[in-house]
Chain A
């Protein structure tokens, strides 16, 4: 796995430099939320609803409050007098909403999903808090349940919220062109009804919040395992009625995010409010069972879609309906189905397109982005349709894609679609056909038919499949980065970007070091702290390297200019004659000139010495024209997203007796522009691919007819382990985006996006003799056997 990079003459960019995160983490000296221990700290446990839908008639915590070691049990009735608002108003703007579903800080009248928090217990230890939890008596009156997003939209269906007019949370149409006319005129139409099931993000670290209140100044510090500390600060201020200066949100080390940690949760309010109310530090650490019922999930979608083509398989139009399960509350918005719909046609020239979206409320855990954020489903739908067309028209599956891919000569290609913010979706760069060709070559696509025949002759069912994707990355408008060179000679970088394990600090250190001497060990990155960065957006949409990276680059260039200006004045030379090397600024002298120590001191200065001069002294003039100190702050604004692309080719073997699907080989060719750190890019891809394999074959978040979750531990909900990972070949193309100075695109979610589509395609191919067509994900061995049996029954019926 060797990557190339566009940064040819760079000091540290484009290189596999050691990660700055590793030295602490590898020694067990990281500091995650649960590692924060404060004197007098209380431990919180949440009492959660065991019902998917019920009215709360009464809550009696008398016995729990009397348990030794319990300091308080708080319900909404206890907290409400201390809050400016009792709802989490987090919905991103959209004209599509038909219901406002702002979730409460704690449920008090009605619970709408299993796991919804009702009360918090604060005790000397988590053990005692959980003892007390069992002593709280809640009287529920069960209500009818909306457990399925399709049924939930039927007339007369039980509503997820008592008294709501319906379960229709939002509806919208995405599309362009006269799609019905295109279908009218088309010689061929292909239809699919596709289901993608929900799963979780399952970062290995669950969520966690620690809050401490300083009563002297009425200030709160909240450490939270969030991807979006600034959003958390704003919401906490709104709900608690505090000013920004009173409330600091800081992220400790975060043990994986993958989407759900960008959401703002009730527990964050409750822990912060409890710390202020009780005057004691409070810690809450989510356990895995809670993670299954209280941390947001994604992917439940039903696509009823059609593709129209001409005789050569050229796409004339795509249309259909999408039903999206929203869960019980609006914990983010309609961005997931929007992302799914805009991802669907992106790799291809689709002249007319229309998807009618209906978003349904159900009595399940709220839905928000999980790595991929709708894009895996949109890609699955498109790729399934193309496979159906290839099969119907007798065209090779790769060939039909080649005929429809956006060609490189059309770049930049402005699609008629817009993002959720109304910004034009323009494919900025890339050579999609070439990228696909790389993947096909490496996977042995051409010669596969012969291998398949040979395998079939010996009773083995192997198949190969592919899927293309284009990922929207680097969502704007900005990310904050400031840099200060301090008199100690150390360089401090502060950013609104939030690190969650993906190497954000390494990325920023690299970009800053590149301009300032190349010594990454001289740089300290403070990420995800609202009191270090005045504004910030945080981690989502594979955005931070693009947005924070470019702000860091711009700020580092300013610092460089200022350092050289000050140094040149002191050293009485021109800035152009100076270079920063390591922690020193040196005059460029001919290499063969030998100098004494005294001469040396005239031609070199440390960064610290320069910073001291620039800092200034009372009564003395400052050097240069740049004002005091050496600092720069940047928020590079880029509204347009930059689009990464790629192709996955999967080879599978299906055991037709057991239904087991084994992935024999996986090739992933992609293009994320210039690669800043090849190993980190590959690590992102591999993690995403593993997640995609899980979504395709293993990860199933089950619910029964009463919306009771059935898979609430990691033995029932299967995450991919090392033995399920196939051999993976990663191939890189680098088409720099013209949208930013570094030419970089995001890659954080790329790996997951095409995997389901590619594996489904390969399973179809392996099971061709049975006429199998995969129409849902994930596929368990039981599902595969059912498909085989259906296929057998069909062919027997024909006889």
Chain B
């Protein structure tokens, strides 16, 4: 349905979004942010708002595989697209994504509030840059603020996860 199909003055619109592999459809206010859609409509509260002006990165989600700020995007913009949130990163209920495992091993999280954005940002980054240097990792997460860790554990986690992912790819090849 295009915008022209909407009745005049309509403030809601039906959207269909694939979230963590599941097709979800809802009637949403046109001004609803996609982060609020995930948190309030779908009860996927793992995505966190830290600033609501696109700076802190806590709300980062994967949108068609790319890291985007869910506080700066409307839910209607997600119509017909695919979203992955922190809840969709683990491979199964008992198997975490290698990056999640690495975060736990290296103390890459303390309060856990920035963690969803760190994970999604780094998952995209490690796809693009499978063998990064610590400096490249720092640049990759320079749009994500953490007040607890001083970033050391996060950088270490990304390095460890990169290694695991490379080995896995090599094994699969």
Using a CB–CB distance below 8 Å, which chain A residues touch chain B?
Answer: 1, 16, 18-19, 21-23, 25-32, 34-35, 37, 127, 201-206, 253-256, 258, 285, 287-289, 500-503, 679-680, 682-683, 685-691, 713-715, 719, 721-723, 725, 728, 751
Contacts and interface: CB of A to CB of B under 8 A. Distances in A.
Given A204-B58, A204-B114, A288 B107 contact: no
A683 B110 contact: yes
Interface hub of B50, B89, B139, B155 (most chain A Cβ within 10 A): B50
Interface stretch (B62-70, B75-83, B143-151, B164-172): B143-151
Interface string B33-61: 00000011001111111111101101000
A500 B138 contact: no
A731 to B, nearest CB: 15
A205 B145 contact: no
B53 A288 contact: yes
Contacts of A686: 149-153
Contact of B111 (A501, A690, A751): A501
B24 interface: no
A728 to B, nearest CB: 7
Given A255-B111, A725-B138, A687 B45 contact: no
B141 A683 contact: no
A27 B142 contact: no
A541 B58 CA distance: 28
Between A32, A258, A503, A680, the greatest number of chain B beta carbons within 10 A of the residue's beta carbon is seen for A32
A501 B53 contact: no
Contacts of A691: 147
Most chain B CB within a 10 A radius of its CB, from A254, A258, A714 = A714
Given A21-B112, A34-B39, A714-B55, 12 more contacts: A26-B119, A37-B40, A127-B32, A204-B145, A679-B107, A679-B153, A683-B107, A689-B150, A715-B53, A721-B142, A722-B151, A725-B152
B110 to A, nearest CB: 5
A728 B138 CA distance: 14
B31 interface: yes
B96 A27 contact: yes
Which secondary structure dominates where chain A touches chain B?
Answer: loop
B153 A256 contact: no
Contact of B55 (A28, A255, A689, A715): A715
B162 interface: no
B91 to A, nearest CB: 12
A719 B145 contact: yes
B130 interface: no
B151 A30 contact: no
Contact of B152 (A19, A26, A503, A728): A728
B132 interface: no
A682 B148 CA distance: 11
Given A203-B111, A722-B142, A690 B150 contact: yes
Contacts of A719: 145, 147
Contacts of B150: 683, 685-690, 725, 728, 751
A22 B145 contact: no
Q: Which of A28, A35, A285 has the most CB of B within 10 A?
A: A28
A258 B147 contact: yes
A501 B113 contact: yes
A1 to B, nearest CB: 8
8 smallest CB-CB distances across A and B, nearest first, come from: A28-B46, A501-B111, A686-B150, A25-B112, A255-B113, A28-B86, A35-B45, A714-B55
B103 A725 contact: no
Interface string B1-36: 000000000000000000000000000010110000
Contacts of B43: 37
A242 to B, nearest CB: 30
Contacts of B53: 288-289, 713-715
A680 B152 CA distance: 12
Interface centre among A28, A35, A722 (most CB of B within 10 A): A722
A37 B114 CA distance: 21
Given A683-B153, A687-B149, A714-B53, A28 B47 contact: yes
Contact of A28 (B45, B52, B148): B45
B110 A687 contact: yes
B129 to A, nearest CB: 15
Interface string B103-120: 110010111111110010
A726 B145 CA distance: 16
B55 to A, nearest CB: 4
B107 A682 contact: yes
A288 B52 contact: yes
Nearest to B53: A713
B12 to A, nearest CB: 12
